[in-house]
Amino acid sequence: MKSSIYNYDEGNISLCPVESYHSEFLFRLFIESRSDLSLISGLDEEQKLNIIYQQFIMEQQQLEVMYPKADFNVVMLNNEPIGRFYVYYGERKVRVLEIALLEKYRRIGIGSKLLITVIEEAGRLGKNLNLQVAWFNAGAYTFYEKLGFKVIDDSYVYKTMEYAKGYNRM
């Protein structure tokens, strides 16, 4: 899914590959989309921000090492960044690595449209589609369930969910 464009009430939604100039936005999005970061205590704000930044960098590097051929995209609304959408297209499966939108763009259909597009694409390719959701992210878990994802593994830190409707399962 490269540079796909969707018409939306407020303008055009598109995907563009992550570039170095997106770093500041992606870090801000990381902070906003990770409610567990508020649990960090006992540090002054600068120390806390440094730890969060290290976590952000390590997570990004881990994804790039584990999934070097993944599509790492920034979600754009009228050429302004509003989220990130990382998807890996493997030989046997498609995996949504990350979907995150700024708070004001959640629950208005953008995330659904992105995921439905990948669901349809996985179906056309005849591949399983899965993702992981953190234990503390009940909103995302419910969202994925409504789209047809079912839990296939639960490590008590992350739940692995697989799309369970409408395409050939291997």
pLDDT of residue 117: 94
Tell me the three state secondary structure of residue 129: strand
Band of residue 170 on the pLDDT scale cut at 50, 70, 90: very low
User: Structure pTM?
Assistant: 0.89
Mean pLDDT of 42-66: 90
CA-based nearest residue to 51, from 27, 20, 22: 27
CA-based nearest residue to 60, from 92, 18, 89: 18
Beta bridge partners of 14: 5, 76
What burial class does residue 153 get, using C-beta atoms within 10 Å of its C-beta: 0-12 exposed, 13-18 middle, 19+ buried? exposed
- At the fourth CATH level, the homologous superfamily of domain 5-163 is Gcn5-related N-acetyltransferase (GNAT) (3.40.630.30)
Band of residue 150 on the pLDDT scale cut at 50, 70, 90: very high
Give the start-to-end residue ranges of the domains of the chain.
5-163
Torsion-angle region of residue 129: left (phi > 0), alpha (psi -120 to 50) or beta? Answer: beta
Instruction: Check residues 25 and 136 and name the one with the higher pLDDT.
Output: 25
Please answer whether residues 72 and 99 qualify as being in contact, where contact means their C-beta atoms are separated by less than 8 angstroms: no
Average pLDDT along the chain: 89
pLDDT in tens, 108-123: 999 999 999 999 999 9
Cα–Cα distance measured from residue 72 to residue 66, given in angstroms and rounded to the nearest whole number: 13
Question: Residue 4 pLDDT > 60, yes or no?
Answer: no
- Report DSSP letters for 53-81, one per residue: HHHHHHHHHHHHHH-TTSEEEEEEETTEE
Tell me the three state secondary structure of residue 11: strand
